[in-house]
Chain A
Amino acid sequence: MLLLITLVTFGIFFGLPKLAGQTTDQLAASYVGKAPTQEAIEATKERLGLDKPIVVQYGNYLKGIVAGEDFKAGPVTDHCPAPCLGYSFRTSQPVLPTLMDRAPATLGLAVGAAIVWLVAGVATGVVSALKRGSIWDRAAMVVALSGVSLPIYFTGLVSLALFSYKLGIFPGGGSYVGFSQDPVKWFESLVLPWVTLAFLYAAMYARLTRAGMLETMNEDYIRTARAKGLPEKTVITRHALRASLTPILTVFGLDFGLLIGGAVLTENTFSIPGLGQLAISSIGTGDLPMVLGVTTLAATFIVVINLVVDLLYAVIDPRVRLG
């Protein structure tokens, strides 16, 4: 699986630029200062391993994963133990520790936002479905529509301007601190990003939940539940909502998996040093190993999350259980 992921991503990031006409000289030249001499370019190509055929480069990459890699930083040689995802072209840092350094911020952002959007989105969706056609339903769906339509860099900046700079309730951009450094500040700094990011998703989940609930509420077993004399609250939460969760879970798996690979816009807007920001800046500087690393990590996340989702299906829906 991982092999396939690395092969595909490697092919895309190392192979495609060549097909598109970018020469290794050009790539190397971007890691040399202004007015690079051919000599400097050659030296850089050699240092980055770009002088070798692409198959050999991939072989070295795999070798690094299995056996680790040595990196010549000049007077010292750095060893990157297996699994080594190579060294950044741009920053000369080993890729994997950089990813691990960035992952907690993204993870914290994604998990928090996911909680907010699940709670808010599902609750809104349920209420909307039950009060279908009411003012509440319409208002909620208008808000949901705007949530889906408004880009994060807009809602993010507006919320920063309002809640941070104008009202001073939450700390402003760039206030992110690691959880291990100061959990309280960590929480405070993430409230706005969570809400902003969750706004987008909550909107989608509200619509999804509403549709799912409307469908489920027509199911025979809901009628049965009512016929048993269950209070409406129980009917909705225990019977209808649980059955509506399956499609939500499916989408959630995909969304969350993607998000963990980097909430690019949110991280950029709130200046959170996560994987998404790393991905963007690495793409910007043509830092192929880092891009490859982020992509591989993201792909791995998505695979793992989908596995977890599949397992969760079985928890939610006994019909899916094996054996």
Chain B
Amino acid sequence: MNGVRLHMNKMRPIAALAAGALAAAGLAACGGGDSGGSGSGPGYGAAIDKIVNQSDKKGGTLRLAMSDDFDAPDPGNQYYAWDQNFSRLYGRGLMTFKPAAGKDSLNVIPDLATAPGQMADGGKTWTYKLRTGVKYDDGTTVTSKDVKYAVERSNFTDELQLGPKYFKTYLVDNKPAYKGPYKDKSDEGLKSIETPDDNTIVFHLSKPFAEFDYLVAMSQTIPVPKAKDTGLKYESSIVSSGPYKVDNYTRGKSMTLSRNPNWDPSTDPIRKALPDRIELQLKQNADDIDNRLLAGSLDMDVAGVGVQSGTQPKVLTPQQKPYTDNPIQGYLRFMSLNQHVKPLDNIHCRIAVQYATDKVAAQTAYGGPLAGGDVATTILPPSVAGYRKFDLYPQKQASGGNGLDQATLAKAKQELAACGQPNGFSTKISARSDRPKEVAMAQAIQQGLKKVGINVSIVQWPAGDYFNKYVGVPNYVHQHGVGMMLMAWAADWPTGYGFLSQIVDGRAIKPSGGNNLAEEDNPKVNDALDQAIANPDKAARMKAYGDIDQMVMQDAVEVPLIYAKALLYRPKRVTNVGITMGYGGMYDYLNMGVEK
């Protein structure tokens, strides 16, 4: 578990996170359940598409725990989804995910801003107006300069490296390159962020980006007053702009929040701020957390990745099951087929693999429908805005549960023949050696493919080197003939672009450390991505994502395996509980309260 955690900071191979029980996925993704409860009372899966146990009752202490720690509680230095979900209690960014359940939670709504961004210049200029009267816990007023400063420090300094760097990527840079507020002491700072007055902030992008509202929903726009910034030490003296202030944060121990007396509810239409106090215990034993939840001495596990495997039977009893949810968790486990490894350079051979890969066996290997997830047919998971349901390579299981049926296998053989490999072929499949479930998945796939004569040998590498040294290095993949590579992926914001741009865009192919393992470089896909992100029409964008997904699937370079799911538990004492897809299928912490 610790081995996993080393790489958890590094969100890139989100895949990495996937296997670890602790893994708190990428920002974006998911939710969306298959089995919502019916009726008005809570039940199994009830919180997946609606807020259950709704209440406006104030008071009490919300007791939270986690088996790990923040990557950093500093909103400018964090990446984990739960961090960003949680830090909204003591900070207000320009936009945020709507406190809701189900699809509705994928929407971003104004928080510190009065309205969504005003787009201009074809999507290259974004202007936000700040609410007036928003104050820090020390009583000073929040200004747009503080938001600008927060973005600068989080994206441009050498010290704060843990968060995403999308602003740095998309904002117009200074000439010479801006070095961040710690090195560049000029008043002007990054010229592409303008603050014409204390309530206005303007962002200038280097190319059109229609989903900028999602970027400013990241915790990096939570304002930080320059005078109070202490860099890496800021996490122990955070200035709050939200309804709670941080009384105390000790690394590896705990954080306690109490009401921010200077928070004015009239400036904040989305927060209920119910509990008087919020206690978060860190580095708690994971199994014990589950026991405490069941015993009622704890209100929530904020990691949001589900109960431990040993706890699953305990929460699936008739008494406890109505207090559980099994949402989709934002990431896709899939197999990339490299287009430059023979004979997979031939699309018919790839399609043969699409048909002959026994996804149910892979699902079983990963823990079954409950802890593993649902069988996937698309690259976008259902929890991502732009998901469209389709299945280009339909499979059927043989009756009797002995793998794929003859018709499906026949299709695969037909494609093999078209590929000129009627008797099958041989290649390699890779998995991360320290992910036993992934290795088991590779074995299940190996068994299935054998039925059509595709013989794969399994190669394993440690997760830490997987992308840097092996599958993410095209030269290596070509030379060693690694035709099939297992990985998993989640997006940093839950839209098709956020999900797809790193894994199917030809320009994301890197000499090493890349995530486009199939080396998909279809000009039509690339163009479609560019056009989509520049398109201000949301509906059109969403349609485009489905189209792109379908285009890539037509190339047959990615074999979707499962949409990951987790089994979450919500103690009955907790109020306003709903699964937010904005933060990857975990409970929304913004408005949680407790019954006395």
Asked whether, in the complex, the Cβ of A284 is within 8 Å of the Cβ of B230, the reply is: no
Asked whether, in the complex, the Cβ of B291 is within 8 Å of the Cβ of A161, the reply is: yes
The answer, yes or no, to whether A246 is at the interface (CB within 8 Å) is no
Asked whether, in the complex, the Cβ of A278 is within 8 Å of the Cβ of B252, the reply is: yes
CB neighbours of B7 from chain A (8 A): 30
- A32-B161, A40-B161, A271-B284 known; A101 and B250 CB under 8 Å? yes
Asked whether, in the complex, the Cβ of A285 is within 8 Å of the Cβ of B9, the reply is: yes
Query: Which of B162, B233, B464, B513 is in CB contact (< 8 Å) with A33?
Result: B162
The answer, yes or no, to whether B294 is at the interface (CB within 8 Å) is yes
The answer, yes or no, to whether A277 is at the interface (CB within 8 Å) is yes
- A268-B285, A271-B283 known; A74 and B161 CB under 8 Å? no
Per-position binary interface string of chain B over residues 434-468, scored 1 when its CB falls under 8 Å from any chain A CB and 0 otherwise: 00000000000000000000000000000011001
Query: Which of A75, A91, A173 is in CB contact (< 8 Å) with B181?
Result: A75
Interface size on A, residues (CB 8 A): 48
The answer, yes or no, to whether A204 is at the interface (CB within 8 Å) is no
CB neighbours of A284 from chain B (8 A): 1-3, 5-6
CB neighbours of A98 from chain B (8 A): 251
The answer, yes or no, to whether A34 is at the interface (CB within 8 Å) is yes
- A26-B468, A33-B162, A161-B291 known; A269 and B10 CB under 8 Å? no
Per-position binary interface string of chain A over residues 13-45, scored 1 when its CB falls under 8 Å from any chain B CB and 0 otherwise: 000000000000010011111111100100110
CB neighbours of A270 from chain B (8 A): 285, 288
Asked whether, in the complex, the Cβ of B231 is within 8 Å of the Cβ of A76, the reply is: yes
Query: Which of A26, A93, A271 is in CB contact (< 8 Å) with B281?
Result: A271
Asked whether, in the complex, the Cβ of A173 is within 8 Å of the Cβ of B159, the reply is: no
Asked whether, in the complex, the Cβ of A34 is within 8 Å of the Cβ of B79, the reply is: yes
Asked whether, in the complex, the Cβ of A73 is within 8 Å of the Cβ of B164, the reply is: no
Name the distance in Å between B588's Cβ and chain A's nearest Cβ: 23
Asked whether, in the complex, the Cβ of B252 is within 8 Å of the Cβ of A29, the reply is: no
Per-position binary interface string of chain B over residues 262-299, scored 1 when its CB falls under 8 Å from any chain A CB and 0 otherwise: 00000000000000000001011101110110110110
Asked whether, in the complex, the Cβ of B291 is within 8 Å of the Cβ of A273, the reply is: no
Asked whether, in the complex, the Cβ of A74 is within 8 Å of the Cβ of B292, the reply is: no
C-alpha gap A161/B285 in the complex (Å): 13
C-alpha gap A47/B502 in the complex (Å): 28
Asked whether, in the complex, the Cβ of B294 is within 8 Å of the Cβ of A75, the reply is: no
Query: Which of B10, B14, B281, B288 is in CB contact (< 8 Å) with A32?
Result: B10
CB neighbours of B253 from chain A (8 A): 273
CB neighbours of A47 from chain B (8 A): 158-159
CB neighbours of B163 from chain A (8 A): 33
- A40-B161, A76-B231 known; A269 and B288 CB under 8 Å? yes
Interface size on B, residues (CB 8 A): 58
The answer, yes or no, to whether B482 is at the interface (CB within 8 Å) is no
Asked whether, in the complex, the Cβ of A277 is within 8 Å of the Cβ of B231, the reply is: no
CB neighbours of B285 from chain A (8 A): 153, 157, 173-174, 268-271
Per-position binary interface string of chain A over residues 139-150, scored 1 when its CB falls under 8 Å from any chain B CB and 0 otherwise: 000000000000
C-alpha gap A32/B79 in the complex (Å): 10
CB neighbours of A285 from chain B (8 A): 2, 5-6, 9
C-alpha gap A43/B11 in the complex (Å): 18
The answer, yes or no, to whether B170 is at the interface (CB within 8 Å) is no
Asked whether, in the complex, the Cβ of A286 is within 8 Å of the Cβ of B158, the reply is: no
Name the distance in Å between B509's Cβ and chain A's nearest Cβ: 14
Asked whether, in the complex, the Cβ of A75 is within 8 Å of the Cβ of B252, the reply is: no
**Nearest-neighbor residue (CB-CB) of A269 within chain B:** B285
Name the distance in Å between B146's Cβ and chain A's nearest Cβ: 14
- A278-B252, A283-B2 known; A75 and B9 CB under 8 Å? no
Name the distance in Å between A145's Cβ and chain B's nearest Cβ: 25
C-alpha gap A93/B162 in the complex (Å): 16
Name the distance in Å between A135's Cβ and chain B's nearest Cβ: 35
The answer, yes or no, to whether B160 is at the interface (CB within 8 Å) is yes
C-alpha gap A34/B287 in the complex (Å): 28
The answer, yes or no, to whether B232 is at the interface (CB within 8 Å) is yes
**Nearest-neighbor residue (CB-CB) of A42 within chain B:** B158
The answer, yes or no, to whether B182 is at the interface (CB within 8 Å) is yes
The answer, yes or no, to whether B26 is at the interface (CB within 8 Å) is yes
Asked whether, in the complex, the Cβ of B161 is within 8 Å of the Cβ of A172, the reply is: no
CB neighbours of A40 from chain B (8 A): 158, 161, 165
C-alpha gap A32/B72 in the complex (Å): 12
Asked whether, in the complex, the Cβ of B159 is within 8 Å of the Cβ of A74, the reply is: yes
The answer, yes or no, to whether A165 is at the interface (CB within 8 Å) is yes
Asked whether, in the complex, the Cβ of B251 is within 8 Å of the Cβ of A172, the reply is: no
- A174-B65, A281-B252, A284-B6 known; A75 and B281 CB under 8 Å? no
Name the distance in Å between B179's Cβ and chain A's nearest Cβ: 10
**Nearest-neighbor residue (CB-CB) of B11 within chain A:** A34
- A34-B11, A268-B285, A284-B5 known; A172 and B297 CB under 8 Å? yes
Asked whether, in the complex, the Cβ of A32 is within 8 Å of the Cβ of B162, the reply is: yes
**Nearest-neighbor residue (CB-CB) of A164 within chain B:** B295
Asked whether, in the complex, the Cβ of A26 is within 8 Å of the Cβ of B464, the reply is: yes
- A30-B7, A30-B9 known; A165 and B231 CB under 8 Å? no
C-alpha gap A81/B300 in the complex (Å): 40
Most buried by A among B1, B7, B161, B289: B161
Asked whether, in the complex, the Cβ of A286 is within 8 Å of the Cβ of B6, the reply is: yes
Name the distance in Å between A90's Cβ and chain B's nearest Cβ: 8
**Nearest-neighbor residue (CB-CB) of B7 within chain A:** A30
The answer, yes or no, to whether B69 is at the interface (CB within 8 Å) is yes
- A29-B10, A271-B281 known; A160 and B291 CB under 8 Å? yes
Per-position binary interface string of chain A over residues 279-291, scored 1 when its CB falls under 8 Å from any chain B CB and 0 otherwise: 0110111100000
- A36-B161, A165-B294, A278-B252 known; A172 and B288 CB under 8 Å? yes
- A78-B233, A270-B285, A285-B9 known; A43 and B292 CB under 8 Å? no
Name the distance in Å between B158's Cβ and chain A's nearest Cβ: 4
The answer, yes or no, to whether B388 is at the interface (CB within 8 Å) is no
Contacts A/B (CB < 8 Å), 16 sampled: A26-B468, A30-B9, A32-B162, A33-B161, A34-B11, A34-B79, A44-B158, A44-B161, A73-B230, A157-B287, A160-B291, A165-B295, A173-B289, A174-B65, A273-B250, A281-B68
Closest 6 CB pairs of A and B: A74-B231, A34-B11, A284-B2, A43-B158, A173-B288, A92-B232
Contacts beyond the supplied A74-B233, A91-B252: 19 A-B pairs with Cβ under 8 Å: A29-B468, A31-B9, A33-B9, A34-B12, A35-B12, A35-B513, A43-B158, A74-B230, A75-B181, A75-B229, A157-B288, A161-B291, A172-B291, A173-B289, A174-B288, A271-B288, A273-B252, A281-B283, A286-B6
